[in-house]
Amino acid sequence: MRILLTGGAGYIGTHIAVSLSLNGHEPIIVDDLSNSCKSAVSRVEEILGKPVSFHELDIRDSTGLNAIFETEKPQAVIHLAGLKAVGESVAQPLRYYDTNINSTISLVKVMSDHGVRRLIFSSSATVYGDPEYLPLTEEACVGLGISNPYGWTKFMIEQILRDLAAAEDGWQISLLRYFNPVGAHESGLIGEDPNGIPNNLMPFVAQVAAGRRECIRVFGQDYDTVDGTGVRDYIHVMDLAEGHVSALNHLVPGVATYNLGTGTGSSVLEIIEAFGQACGRTLPYEIVDRRPGDLASTYCSPEKAAQELQWKASRTIEDACRDSWLWQSTNPDGYL
Ligand SMILES: NC(=O)c1ccc[n+]([C@@H]2O[C@H](COP(=O)([O-])OP(=O)(O)OC[C@H]3O[C@@H](n4cnc5c(N)ncnc54)[C@H](O)[C@@H]3O)[C@@H](O)[C@H]2O)c1
């Protein structure tokens, strides 16, 4: 199938583009490059050894998007485009609601006009707010305790897509709730390239390992977890990417929701230790205060995806640290 990837030049989108192509699909990347760059697409082409269709566009521009649909004739869409920095969303809520919600509305209108009703949406474990129970299943309560506008945009977009599928026949929508994507493609050619200070643990640890930052700050060591530090369900980005290929092959009428995670949590100190093994040195860290809003522990049950999508994460934290280190050490300044 010809698959349009909104936000496809970003961290997760580039890895999905590789997976799609390796599985016989044709990725078409649409991205406004607000948090990525054209050379990420060139790296995807380098991995695949062939050109990949790319359009620079803010997908809120429905006229421009319509023109792309006319020429490219996609058969399905994976919708990744959006802003994702939690702290920034607290400081700039309108920018987040405008970008994330309006880009989705623009997209589904254009899709509907072209009779394209197969859609996979990048949702997030954030929609669960304060976890009702662990491991989280897709039936767990959503929306309770979401503490930032970013999380609300994911919650609202899920609802918008449910309402759309209920009102209009023919939609096949998969809402994929990502846990914590980490790692990089095994070639080291593509990976996570955050602007400024990384918000997520793994790229921060990678930058300390590369000598770009001095010390890892661990937010709290008094949680009720294995070693007192926060526990998250880290999923290798290539496993996540392959999850999209499976979701595409198993779209069903209406809306289906899946957790994409490993089902196992790792603590901050376990990640620091594993990354130290990968880069061959002990990494410095200091314990600082907890961050407001941080959860002690969150991890999913990946059973529904295993049953219905025939997909399961197969890579380990060690694999993720090795691949992330290869990316970081061979691209110390990210994409140039
Ligand atoms: N990385 C994570 O930890 C994580 C976790 C859960 C969910 N997600 C979701 O997955 C998706 C992809 O995340 P990522 O980590 O690859 O982020 P990313 O920032 O690397 O990729 C998003 C891409 O969208 C593009 N973009 C933003 N607004 C756009 C617009 N209006 N029109 C066109 N392109 C636009 C950006 O330039 C960027 O390339 C996002 O929707 C994010 O919220 C990410």
Q: Which CATH number do you get for residue 96?
A: 3.40.50.720
What's the token pair of residue 9?
Answer: 């030049």
pLDDT for position 224: 96
Q: Flag whether 292 is in a domain.
A: no
Judge whether 323 lies within some domain. Answer: no
Cα-to-centroid distance, 231 and ligand 1 (Å) = 23
The pair of structure tokens assigned to 230 is 């926060």
| Overall number of domains in the chain | 1
Domain-located, residue 145: yes
Residue 286, domain member (yes or no): no
**What residue ranges line ligand 1, CB within 6 angstroms?**
6-7, 9-13, 31-36, 58-60, 80-82, 84, 99, 103, 122, 124, 178, 181, 200
- Identify whether the C-beta of residue 298 lies closer than 8 Å to the C-beta of residue 153: no
Q: Token pair of 166, please?
A: 């209920």
Q: What is d(CA 79, CA 108) in angstroms, rounded to the nearest whole number?
A: 10
In this structure, is residue 334 part of a structural domain? no
* pLDDT computed for residue 195 by the predictor: 87
Mean pLDDT by 10 residues, the chain (336 residues): 98 98 98 97 98 98 98 98 95 98 98 98 96 96 94 98 98 98 98 91 96 96 97 98 98 98 98 98 97 92 98 98 97 90
Q: Which of 5, 84, 100, 185 to mutate to test the pocket of ligand 1 (most atoms within 8 A of CB)?
A: 84
For residue 297, what is the DSSP state?
A: B
120: in domain: yes
- CA-closest candidate to residue 192, choices 56, 29, 38, 36: 36
- Cα of 228 to ligand 1 centre, how many Å? 31
Catalytic residues: 150
pTM for this prediction: 0.98
Closest residue by CA, ligand 1 atom 31: 58
- 10 Å CB burial of residue 80 (0-12, 13-18, 19+) is buried
* Centroid of ligand 1 to alpha carbon of 183 (angstroms): 16
Task: Return the structure tokens found at 2.
Answer: 């010809």
pLDDT of 293 reads: 84
Which of 35, 83, 239, 259 gets mutated to test ligand 1 (max ligand atoms within 8 A of its CB)? 35
User: How many angstroms separate the alpha carbon of residue 35 from the centre of ligand 1?
Assistant: 8
Residues in a beta bridge with 218: 287
Q: Of all helices (H) and strands (E), which one includes residue 182?
A: strand 180-182
Which of these, 250, 252, 231, lies nearest to 242 by C-alpha position? 250
In a domain, residue 251? The reply is yes
Residue 209: inside a domain, yes or no?
A: no
Domain that holds residue 240: 2-182+235-261+299-313
